[in-house]
């Protein structure tokens, strides 16, 4: 499934690193959402990406945005990774069925069994407002994401 700007963001419910269910619709009418799809916990590029997000949290909070990290890792892996990386935003386990949410957004790489690297911004109405797909070894420019987020109502 492909996603297009202005269309409703595909809904999902996934468990976070604390085994609590998180629904995309939980944020509707409240906050913009930055969906950060990444291949795997513990990999070098993903670790750099999350370090940038952790360091930029004030920016995202000032922009009234909620970051949600998504990968095919289990909630248990996410818990250990979040503790090690000092991550305080939800890391969601797109684990069973593997990559189902990533597939809804068109970023699950079936041949590799992982989610590609991509960032989607969902506006307060639940519509896709911005998206960018990255090569797996590329660390996204968090400044670019913040700038895009600032332009989303």
Give the number of other Cβ atoms within 10 Å of residue 77's Cβ: 18
Identify the three-state secondary structure at position 89.
Answer: coil
Sequence-distant (≥ 6) Cβ neighbours of residue 139 within 8 angstroms:
45, 48, 49, 52
Identify whether the C-beta of residue 30 lies closer than 8 Å to the C-beta of residue 124.
yes
Kind of pairing between the strands at 117-122 and 32-37: antiparallel
Identify whether the C-beta of residue 152 lies closer than 8 Å to the C-beta of residue 145.
no
Identify whether the C-beta of residue 92 lies closer than 8 Å to the C-beta of residue 22.
yes
Give the number of other Cβ atoms within 10 Å of residue 81's Cβ: 21
Give the number of other Cβ atoms within 10 Å of residue 22's Cβ: 20
Q: Which residues are catalytic?
A: 46
């Amino acid at each position: 499934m492909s996603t297009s700007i202005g269309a409703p963001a595909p809904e999902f419910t996934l468990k976070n690193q604390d085994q609590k269910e998180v629904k995309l619709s939980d944020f509707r009418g409240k906050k913009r959402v930055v969906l950060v799809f990444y291949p795997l916990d513990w990999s070098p590029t993903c670790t750099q990406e999350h370090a940038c997000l952790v360091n930029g949290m004030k920016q995202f909070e000032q922009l009234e945005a909620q970051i949600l990290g998504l990968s095919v890792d289990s909630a248990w892996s996410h818990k250990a990774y979040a503790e090690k990386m000092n991550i305080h935003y939800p890391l969601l386990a797109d684990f069973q069925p593997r990559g189902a949410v990533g597939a809804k957004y068109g970023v699950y790489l079936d041949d590799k069994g992982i989610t590609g690297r991509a960032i989607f911004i969902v506006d307060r109405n639940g519509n896709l407002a911005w998206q960018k797909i990255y090569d797996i070894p590329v660390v996204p420019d968090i400044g670019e994401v913040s700038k895009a987020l600032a332009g989303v109502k």
